Amino acid sequence: MAFFRKKKEIPVGLWMKCPACGKMAFTKTVEEKQNCCPECDHHMKVNGPTRAKQLLDEGSFEPIGEELEPKDILRFKDEHSYEDKLKKTAAKAGVSEACTAGRGTIGGIPVTLAALDFTFRGGSMGVVVGERIALAADDAYERKAPLIVVATSGGARMQEGALSLMQMAKTSATIARLREEGIPYIVILADPCTGGVSASFAAQGDVTLAEPGALIGFAGPRVIQNTIKTSLPEGFQRAEFLLEKGYVDRIVNRRDLKQELQTLLEYLAPNQASEPPTAETAEAAS
Ligand SMILES: [Zn+2]
């Protein structure tokens, strides 16, 4: 007698488990909810191309720096070579690096977007990630278009050593140029945003938005706790805690993010949104 029935085969990818509440959900439903859990609204990690799709007007995305591919310059090897790891990750992820950059529009307003991707080697910043961010900032500078960066990362790419640390200075300097020209720069901090990324371009936004519950900080809470030998306040380094402390300007649910960006862009780049106000229209409006 068979006491145990054979489990029904579930097609791979049809269902997924929420990492926060542990409940199962239809992958399609999760995607329709912009990769948020239908049960607990946990904001799941999304890759660069999905971010571009969620934030930009349909069909408006034109990639920047897509031809750049990471190289194993230091011939780094632990259990496996860095080169092998990169190949495997790229094949699985369908993208060549942890940053997707490009031009597009939001509500018809031209913007340049760079989105980091935590699912690709922890969103770590190596030479190509840094270069794509810098190219996006250069593009924004040349076109005088607002720059939007989605920052989620575990930090610098260990396998690229000092070359990866250099990206902090490079991205920061490229982005600092935008301020001189009054070009708006909006940062969206997504879970988690730590290490070298949190200490460079992710900290330079004119406006800093964060997704709910995102962990944001340089070193992780465990490292800090072990170093200073004291317990940390509840919710330490979470977006909500940092909003209270003034580091984050606003927490925005992913489903409202595109609209929020459009509203901000209309304030920050009114010349791009419509005709610039003249003395007469400004007077008429007052
Ligand atoms: Zn959930």
CA of 211 to the centre of ligand 1 (A): 15
H or E segment to which residue 34 belongs: none
Q: Alpha-carbon distance 106 to 114, whole Å?
A: 14
Runs of H (alpha helix) within 208-278: 221-228, 239-244, 257-268, 270-273
Give CA 260 to chain center in angstroms. 16
Residue 183's alpha-carbon distances to 44, 148, 172, in angstroms, are 30, 11, 15
CA of 190 to the centre of ligand 1 (A): 17
The neighbouring-strand residues paired with 148 are 113, 186
CA of 24 to the centre of ligand 1 (A): 8
Instruction: Tell me how many degrees the CA angle 181-184-186 measures, rounded to the nearest 5.
Output: 145
CA of 52 to the centre of ligand 1 (A): 23
Q: What is the pLDDT of residue 215?
A: 96
Q: What is the pLDDT of residue 13?
A: 81
Q: What is the pLDDT of residue 281?
A: 46
CA of 13 to the centre of ligand 1 (A): 17
CA of 213 to the centre of ligand 1 (A): 13
- CA torsion 129→77→95→52, rounded to 10°? -30
Q: Alpha-carbon distance 284 to 117, whole Å?
A: 46
What is residue 65's three-state secondary structure?
coil
Alpha carbons within 13 angstroms on the beta-carbon side of residue 270 total 6
CA of 191 to the centre of ligand 1 (A): 15
Residues 273/109, Cβ–Cβ less than 8 Å: yes
CA of 283 to the centre of ligand 1 (A): 51
Q: What is the pLDDT of residue 279?
A: 57
Q: Alpha-carbon distance 236 to 215, whole Å?
A: 8
CA of 22 to the centre of ligand 1 (A): 6
CA of 212 to the centre of ligand 1 (A): 13
CA of 44 to the centre of ligand 1 (A): 9
Residues 161/74, Cβ–Cβ less than 8 Å: yes
> Checking DSSP bridges between strand 250-251 and strand 62-63, what pairing results, if any?
unpaired
Q: What is the pLDDT of residue 7?
A: 60
CA of 251 to the centre of ligand 1 (A): 19
Radius of gyration of the chain (CA): 21
CA of 43 to the centre of ligand 1 (A): 9
The one-letter amino acid at 21:
C
Residues 128/70, Cβ–Cβ less than 8 Å: yes
Tally DSSP H helices, then E strands, for the chain: 11, 9
Give CA 157 to chain center in angstroms. 16
CA of 30 to the centre of ligand 1 (A): 10
Nearest CA-CA partner of 126 in 60, 211, 184, 197? 197
Q: What is the pLDDT of residue 275?
A: 47
CA of 93 to the centre of ligand 1 (A): 23
Low-confidence stretches of the chain (pLDDT < 50) are 1, 274-277, 281, 285-286
Give all domains of the chain, ordered by start, each with its CATH number: 47-66+98-273 (3.90.226.10)
Cis geometry, peptide bond prior to residue 192 (ω within 30 degrees of 0): yes
H or E segment to which residue 187 belongs: strand 185-193
